[in-house]
């Protein structure tokens, strides 16, 4: 009998229906809320078009190599993050556990952000929009005090949505409306991830493509708004002198890193469901480039709308001044227009300076309105909602906008949940008899119960803490150990052979240099810069306190020591698994082998993984 | 619209109407309302006199109360709003926003939640049915195997199952074995 031909072994592992699903899932995971509300902000504060230079350099030397590394790793080993790293080397199993831990922590708070989006979405069906008017106070003589002093949009966000407490230590009560929305969000996540990639693969067609449609609609609408061109000019005008500031380079490196969702284990999980012979090099480059282009594409409507908002704010300021001047001097209506405001002001200032001074006119500076830059939740829930009120047909725009944010966040949640789900499925502790539906149900239920703490009055402060500490530093550490582990422990020569098996091409010089030297070095520099910046100033947060003298400005407060301890714990917990597991393995080895000779780790290669 | 004598006449009429409605005596005439200090800005002072009591002005508080009661009518007569027609020193009573009996968001939320729960139940039931079908198929296959030969046939010292019979080359000479013998 001759040797049987190579029959691909049916190992019962689920696979993608087609390659498009896989690429779309990776893109959906990478493209998230940060592309919409962090990248445009960074562009704005770091000199507009000039920011693209450090951004693309970071993409080239840090983003794409790390992405290729993860995708190739998952495809070669065909296991989730914990199993994959255990297979590379038992001493590196901690890297997998660390990624798993980060995915858990991030899933918890990320879905709460989606809860807020969902709350705004279901409130967008009202006429007028609830964040456009201030409610009345108790005796109906005027507007609610807190709302009147800040704006209606601020009031709806801080009071009606979050019901925020003035301090992180005051927990407040559970907000029942947020609990309902949180339950709905986790139900949606459960629905989409109920059978792993079988179901997320179908859902991703909608959640990954829909945001692009809405962005295009907003692009067209945004460009027709007055003041859009000012906003865009402001965004993209390059100011090359900002490149001298090292902070800009650090922000570019961190933005690329977090934007591509590296070191979560989700990308490893996604590519582990691929057939072994798949060109992951092309996939990695495609995903990275699409992610960056999406960031650029999203910043255009965002900045058109911001320019529109600055223009309307400027016009409102002018109009208010004009009314007070007309009232004071009893001039006929329409005598002072926006265009000749400055000439009138200078004329009146020279002829009646005391009267003008007595009016206490606010200085209207267009640049000042443009400079009000916000990122994160403030951009979406305060600035953008305010701009939406000013557009005609606000309900439709609000509904579209919040569905888009929800889809963006949901497709990233799929990646996070896969990063948690896939390694658990492969653990031998969980027996094969537990159906996938039950496991995903248990994960979603436990996450929902833990995430209830984020629906407290102080919930948004805690989410900031999680975002700043759990979702940043550990990822850098894990990514660093990933690169070092593959290049120096597994040996890049062996990995090169495996990659050649999968893609049919040898690793070219670009990958060799970036994997061996540039990426680990960059990660180390970014990590140290990050830590130094964190240590330099004592961590503080901005609290919304209606009783503060400077209200509606936010009050700067420092974290009390027990909160600081939690921050440090969040940052250290995933990282500590790396040395911990290595230590445990060492102890196990030393106990098992009584001989002083060192037992080499099992020789393993990608080709051996499948048969 | 331009402010002229006709608009002034309308204004006087509205104020008289308000006074009549408030004090419920129909003695206030248009001639009782006096305007003064009209400026280009269209701002002026006005007083209401009481013709029954020898040309004395009606106290300001009464006029204020009358206007506040009929503010809506006065605004609509001029097609203006609270902001564009200002009575200085008369605070406006703001109308509360219309609130439906059930907040709209609860309705939308209910719809969304029902859809999701229905979809989850559907998927779980489909999964259970699929698993039951798979279990039934595998038990049927097991029953057939039990009825067939259980003994391990040995060929040349190695059990048959170990030989990958499917992958072996078929010897062409014996291929048409069945056809050489005539059927009985």
User: pLDDT, tens digit, for every residue of A274-326?
Assistant: 988 889 899 999 999 999 999 999 999 988 988 888 888 888 888 888 888 88
Q: A277 to chain B nearest CA, in Å? A: 23
Lowest-pLDDT choice from A8-12, A540-544, B47-51, B132-136: A8-12
Structural domain boundaries of chain A?
Answer: 19-590
- Residue of A56, A65, A84 whose CA lies nearest to A520: A65
Please state, in angstroms and rounded to a whole number, the distance separating the CA atoms of residues B141 and B83.
Answer: 83
Confidence of residue A596 (pLDDT cuts 50, 70, 90): low
- Residue of A512, A610, A604 whose CA lies nearest to A88: A604
Mean pLDDT (whole number) for A51-75: 92
Structure tokens at A453: 């703490």
The CATH classification number of A19-590 equals 1.10.4160
Structure tokens at B102: 């059930």
CB contact under 8 A, B124 and A437: yes
Please report, for residues A439, A514, B83, the alpha-carbon distance to residue A435 in angstroms, rounded to integers and kept in the order given.
7, 42, 65
Q: Residue A7's pLDDT is what?
A: 44
Please tell me the total number of residues recorded for chain B in this structure. Answer: 184
Three-class DSSP category at A196: coil
**Mode of pairing for the β-strands spanning B45-50 and B33-36:** antiparallel
Q: Do A438 and A74 contact (CB within 8 A), yes or no? A: no
* Residue A69: pLDDT over 90: yes
Quote the Cα angle for A107-A472-A413, to 5°: 25
Confidence of residue A230 (pLDDT cuts 50, 70, 90): confident
pTM of the predicted protein model: 0.83
Sort out which chain B residues have CB atoms less than 8 A from A2's CB and list them: 167-169
Please state, in angstroms and rounded to a whole number, the distance separating the CA atoms of residues A540 and A558.
Answer: 4
Q: Kindly report, residue by residue over A393-421, the tens digit of the pLDDT.
A: 899 999 999 999 999 999 999 999 999 99
Confidence of residue A105 (pLDDT cuts 50, 70, 90): very high
Sort out which chain A residues have CB atoms less than 8 A from B116's CB and list them: 184, 187-188, 191
Nearest to B91 among A122, A125, A141 (CB): A141
CB contact under 8 A, A437 and B127: yes
Please state, in angstroms and rounded to a whole number, the distance separating the CA atoms of residues A87 and A93.
Answer: 8
Please state, in angstroms and rounded to a whole number, the distance separating the CA atoms of residues A40 and A217.
Answer: 18
Q: Do A401 and A218 contact (CB within 8 A), yes or no? A: yes
Q: Kindly report, residue by residue over A150-183, the tens digit of the pLDDT.
A: 888 888 999 989 999 988 888 888 999 999 999 9
Please state, in angstroms and rounded to a whole number, the distance separating the CA atoms of residues A218 and A8.
Answer: 47
* Residue A217: pLDDT over 70: yes
Q: Quick one: residue A37, left, alpha or beta (phi over 0 = left, psi -120 to 50 = alpha)?
A: alpha
Q: Kindly report, residue by residue over B139-176, the tens digit of the pLDDT.
A: 888 887 776 655 555 555 555 544 444 455 555 565 45
Sort out which chain B residues have CB atoms less than 8 A from A183's CB and list them: 113
Nearest to A194 among B41, B123, B164 (CB): B123
Q: Residue B1's pLDDT is what?
A: 67
Q: Name the average pLDDT for chain A.
A: 86
Q: Residue B174's pLDDT is what?
A: 56
Q: Do A447 and A108 contact (CB within 8 A), yes or no? A: yes
Q: Nearest chain A Cα to B108, which residue?
A: A122
* Residue A526: pLDDT over 50: yes
Select the more confidently predicted residue: A215 or A8: A215
**B148 CB contacts (<8 Å, ≥6 apart)?**
none
Please state, in angstroms and rounded to a whole number, the distance separating the CA atoms of residues B75 and B85.
Answer: 7
**A481 CB contacts (<8 Å, ≥6 apart)?**
A92, A95, A98, A578
Quote the Cα angle for A576-A540-A554, to 5°: 145
pLDDT > 70: what percent of chain A?
Answer: 94
Q: Name the average pLDDT for chain B.
A: 74
Q: Kindly report, residue by residue over A341-358, the tens digit of the pLDDT.
A: 888 888 888 888 887 777
Pinpoint the alpha helices (H) of B28-103.
Answer: 60-69, 71-77
Size of interface A-B (CB pairs under 8 A): 82
Q: Residue B53's pLDDT is what?
A: 67
CB contact under 8 A, A4 and B112: no
Give me the helix-helix angle, A64-77 and A81-88, nearest 10°: 80
Please state, in angstroms and rounded to a whole number, the distance separating the CA atoms of residues A92 and A578.
Answer: 7
Please state, in angstroms and rounded to a whole number, the distance separating the CA atoms of residues B14 and B33.
Answer: 10
Q: A62 to chain B nearest CA, in Å? A: 40
How far separated are the first and last CA of chain A, in Å rounded? 20
Q: Residue A360 belongs to what H/E stretch?
A: none
Confidence of residue A8 (pLDDT cuts 50, 70, 90): very low
Sort out which chain B residues have CB atoms less than 8 A from A333's CB and list them: 41-42
Lowest-pLDDT choice from A361-370, A497-506, A577-586, B86-95: B86-95
Q: Which positions of A make up the binding site for Na(+)?
A: 28, 30-31, 35, 259, 291, 408, 412
Q: Kindly report, residue by residue over A24-33, the tens digit of the pLDDT.
A: 999 999 999 9
* Residue A611: pLDDT over 50: no
Q: Residue A362's pLDDT is what?
A: 78
Torsion angles phi and psi, residue A401, rounded to 5: -60, -45
Q: Nearest chain A Cα to B118, which residue?
A: A191
Sort out which chain A residues have CB atoms less than 8 A from B94's CB and list them: 136, 140-143
Q: Residue B131's pLDDT is what?
A: 85
Nearest to A190 among B40, B120, B163 (CB): B120
Q: Residue A108's pLDDT is what?
A: 92
Nearest to A191 among B120, B163, B166 (CB): B120
- What are the residues facing B48 on neighbouring strands? B33
Q: Which positions of A make up the binding site?
A: 28, 30-31, 35, 259, 291, 408, 412
Select the more confidently predicted residue: A350 or A189: A189
Mean pLDDT (whole number) for A548-567: 86
Lowest-pLDDT choice from A262-276, A416-430, A559-573, B115-129: A416-430
């Amino acid at each position: 009998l001759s040797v049987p031909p190579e029959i691909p072994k049916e190992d019962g592992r689920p696979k993608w229906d087609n390659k498009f699903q896989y690429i779309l899932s990776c893109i959906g995971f990478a493209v998230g809320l940060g592309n919409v509300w962090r990248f445009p902000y960074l562009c704005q504060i770091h000199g507009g078009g000039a920011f693209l230079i450090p951004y693309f350099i970071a993409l080239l030397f840090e983003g794409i190599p790390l992405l290729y590394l993860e995708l190739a790793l998952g495809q070669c080993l065909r296991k989730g993050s914990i199993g994959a790293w255990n297979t590379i080397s038992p001493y590196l199993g901690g890297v997998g556990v660390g990624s798993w831990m980060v995915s858990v922590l991030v899933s918890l708070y990320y879905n709460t952000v989606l809860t807020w989006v969902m709350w705004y979405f279901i409130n967008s069906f009202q006429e007028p929009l609830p964040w456009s008017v201030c409610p009345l106070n108790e005796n109906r003589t005027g507007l609610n005090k807190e709302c009147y002093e800040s704006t209606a949009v601020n009031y709806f966000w801080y009071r009606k949505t979050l019901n925020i407490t003035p301090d992180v230590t005051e927990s407040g009560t559970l907000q029942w409306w947020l609990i309902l929305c949180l339950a709905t969000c986790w139900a949606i996540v459960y629905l989409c991830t109920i059978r792993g990639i079988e179901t997320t693969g179908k859902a991703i067609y909608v959640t990954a493509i829909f945001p692009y449609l809405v962005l295009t609609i907003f692009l067209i609408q945004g460009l027709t708004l007055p003041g859009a061109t000012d906003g865009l000019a402001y965004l993209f005008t390059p100011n090359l002198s900002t490149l001298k500031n090292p902070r800009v380079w650090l922000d570019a490196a961190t933005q690329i890193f977090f934007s591509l969702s590296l070191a979560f284990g989700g990308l490893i999980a996604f590519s582990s469901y691929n057939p072994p012979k798949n060109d992951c090099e092309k996939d990695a480059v495609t995903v990275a480039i699409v992610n960056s282009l999406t960031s650029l594409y999203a910043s255009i409507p965002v900045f058109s709308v911001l320019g529109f908002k600055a223009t309307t704010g400027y016009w409102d300021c002018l109009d208010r001044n004009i009314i007070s001047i007309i009232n004071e001097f009893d001039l006929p209506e329409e005598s002072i227009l926006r265009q000749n405001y400055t000439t009138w002001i200078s004329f009146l200032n020279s002829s009646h300076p005391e009267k003008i001074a007595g009016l206490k006119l606010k200085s209207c500076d267009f640049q000042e309105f443009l400079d009000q830059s916000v990122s994160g939740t403030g951009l979406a829930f305060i600035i953008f909602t305010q701009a939406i009120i000013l557009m005609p047909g606000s309900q439709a725009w609000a509904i579209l906008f919040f569905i888009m944010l929800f889809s963006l966040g949901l497709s990233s949640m799929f990646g996070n949940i896969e990063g948690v789900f896939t390694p658990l499925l492969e653990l031998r502790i969980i027996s094969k008899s537990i159906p996938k539906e039950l496991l995903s149900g248990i994960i979603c239920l436990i996450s929902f119960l833990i995430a209830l703490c984020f629906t407290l009055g102080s919930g948004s402060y805690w989410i900031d803490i999680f975002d700043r500490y759990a979702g940043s530093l550990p990822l850098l550490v894990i990514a660093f150990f990933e690169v070092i582990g593959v290049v120096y422990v597994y040996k890049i020569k062996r990995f090169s052979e495996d990659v050649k098996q999968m893609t049919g091409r040898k690793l070219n010089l670009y990958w060799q240099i970036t994997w061996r030297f540039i990426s680990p070095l960059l990660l180390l520099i970014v990590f140290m810069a990050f830590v130094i910046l964190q240590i330099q100033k004592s961590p503080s947060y901005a609290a919304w306190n209606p009783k503060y003298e400077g209200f509606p400005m936010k009050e700067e407060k420092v974290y009390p020591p027990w909160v600081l301890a939690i921050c440090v714990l969040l940052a250290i917990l995933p990282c500590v698994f790396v040395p911990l597991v290595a230590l445990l393995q060492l102890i196990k080895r030393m106990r098992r082998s009584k001989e002083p000779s060192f037992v080499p780790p099992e020789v393993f290669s990608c080709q051996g993984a499948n048969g | 619209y331009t402010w002229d004598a006709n608009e002034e006449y309308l204004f006087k009429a509205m104020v008289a109407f308000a006074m009549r409605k408030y004090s419920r005596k129909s003695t206030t005439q248009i001639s009782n309302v006096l305007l003064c200090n009209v400026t280009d800005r269209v701002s002026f002072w006005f007083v209401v006199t009481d013709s029954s009591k020898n040309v004395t002005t009606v106290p300001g508080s009464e006029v204020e109360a009358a206007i506040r009661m009929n503010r809506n009518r006065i605004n609509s007569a001029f097609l203006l709003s609270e902001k564009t027609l200002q009575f200085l020193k008369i605070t406006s009573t703001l109308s509360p926003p219309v609130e439906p009996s059930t907040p709209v968001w609860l309705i939308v939320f209910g719809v969304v939640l029902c859809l999701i729960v229905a979809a989850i139940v559907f998927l779980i039931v489909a999964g259970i049915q699929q698993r039951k079908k798979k279990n039934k198929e595998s038990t049927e296959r097991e029953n057939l195997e039990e009825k067939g030969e259980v003994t391990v046939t040995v060929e040349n010292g190695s059990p048959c199952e170990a030989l990958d019979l499917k992958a072996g080359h078929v010897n062409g000479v014996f291929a048409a074995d069945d056809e050489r013998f005539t059927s009985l």
